[in-house]
Amino acid sequence: MRAQFLPFSAPTIEDAEINEVVDSLKSGWITTGPKVKRFEEEFKAYVGADFAVPLSSATAGQHLIMLALKIGSGDEVITTPMTFASTVSTIVLAGATPLLVDIEPGTLNMDVTRIREKITPRTRAIVPVHFAGQPCDLDPIFALAREFGLAVIEDAAHAVGTEYKGKRIGSSAGVSIFSFHPNKNITTGEGGMLCTPDEELAEQISLLKFHGMNREAWKRFAASGTPGYDIILPGFKYNMMDIQAALGIHQLPRLDGFIRRRTEIAGFYNREFSDVAELALPAMAPYEQRHAWHLYTPLVRTELLTIDRDQFMAELKELNIGSGLHYKAIHHHAWYREQLPVPAGTLPNADYASERILSLPLFPKMTDEDAADVVAAVKDVIAHNRK
């Protein structure tokens, strides 16, 4: 057994990030300023977006897009149950009704063949989640969106660097919202970015994210700016700080290297687990893509074991191997069970995955030895708990 606990995720922070944050602190400019502008420009260029709005989190972007598109009471939004809470809670908080589409059993992405049957005259948007960093099949999603006049709001929290048919996530005709939480593929501590080809929408999000103020504070205080401002609409306080962007501008150039290392480790896991019947390994979608390997999420086939998934995770922990849970399906959480119950058996693939999924350690700093320790521990737990 390994001597030191291996977490399921850890950010790679180097001297460049540390020195850049120190530079911000010493400069006297801590909040939104030139480094946020630079990160916005560089991120926009990397993903190939026309407009990008830096934010305090992806959740902030998910909240603001509902307001900007005036999605609210009486409206329906189609999304996946296999996601983080904010994807669905921001729909609920807007006053709209989330309609959950079941997932594909292999990729765990939203099953695009099941979307059409959910569309009603009240439907306003489709919110696909690029699960674990593997792109959803966007062509049929956009075809449905055009046919029915719906918005597409991509939850791209896992998909920094993901590509679909040769194009980066963030460059589509819809809205894409990225997260830079420390577990994600690049981090700014907390932070998010909303990308869109729609200039007016980007402007609206920019206003909503900062008090509805018609010019940003850092321009007001700049030598060339004027101190006056006007409140055009009531807005929030969802801006990114320079000390956050200080991390991002050094993380972004290393992203492709991070993804290469993540892909290597995922490939190693796939090979080592290929003959383990007790695990259902993540499947690759058949279309051309680059998987960003944000997560490595096998399903533990508990029907072949004497323990459940939670016990499996506990036994891994006893062997000093951390694991994550992405995700317990949203309709299994208390509020949704009580307030928005889904008829039993209508989301069978999500139900199956929700009870069996776990995230094994996957981050760029992991050594080959760390990955081998994970494989040994997983095989050990299986060997001790076979039916």
Site residues for ligand PLP per CB under 6 A? 57-59, 83-84, 86-87, 129, 155, 157-158, 179, 181, 192
CA pseudo-torsion sign 155, 85, 210, 94 = positive
Q: Are 267 and 279 in contact (CB under 8 A)?
A: no
157 or 366: CB nearest ligand PLP: 157
The minimum distance between CB 54 and ligand PLP, in angstroms, equals 12
C-alpha 182/C-alpha 285 separation (Å) is 27
Residues in the chain: 387
- 């080592």: which residue's tokens? 272
DSSP 134: P
In terms of Cβ atoms closer than 10 Å to its own Cβ (0-12, 13-18, 19+), residue 271 is exposed
Radius of gyration of the chain (CA): 21
The minimum distance between CB 90 and ligand PLP, in angstroms, equals 9
- Encoded tokens for 343: 């008829």
Q: Which helix (H) or strand (E) holds 218?
A: helix 217-221
Q: Which residues make Cβ contacts (< 8 Å) with residue 242, sequence separation at least 6?
A: 24, 29, 30, 31, 32, 33, 34, 35, 36
* Nearest C-alpha neighbor of 174 from the set 144, 193, 195, 156: 195
Q: Which helix (H) or strand (E) holds 196?
A: strand 192-196
3-state secondary structure 366-380: CCHHHHHHHHHHHHH
Q: Are 60 and 192 in contact (CB under 8 A)?
A: yes
Q: Which residues are catalytic?
A: 184
The minimum distance between CB 158 and ligand PLP, in angstroms, equals 6
C-alpha 220/C-alpha 225 separation (Å) is 5
User: Hey, how many other C-beta atoms are within 10 angstroms of the C-beta on 382?
Assistant: 21
- 């969106």: which residue's tokens? 145
The minimum distance between CB 118 and ligand PLP, in angstroms, equals 20
Q: Are 192 and 179 in contact (CB under 8 A)?
A: yes
In terms of Cβ atoms closer than 10 Å to its own Cβ (0-12, 13-18, 19+), residue 120 is exposed
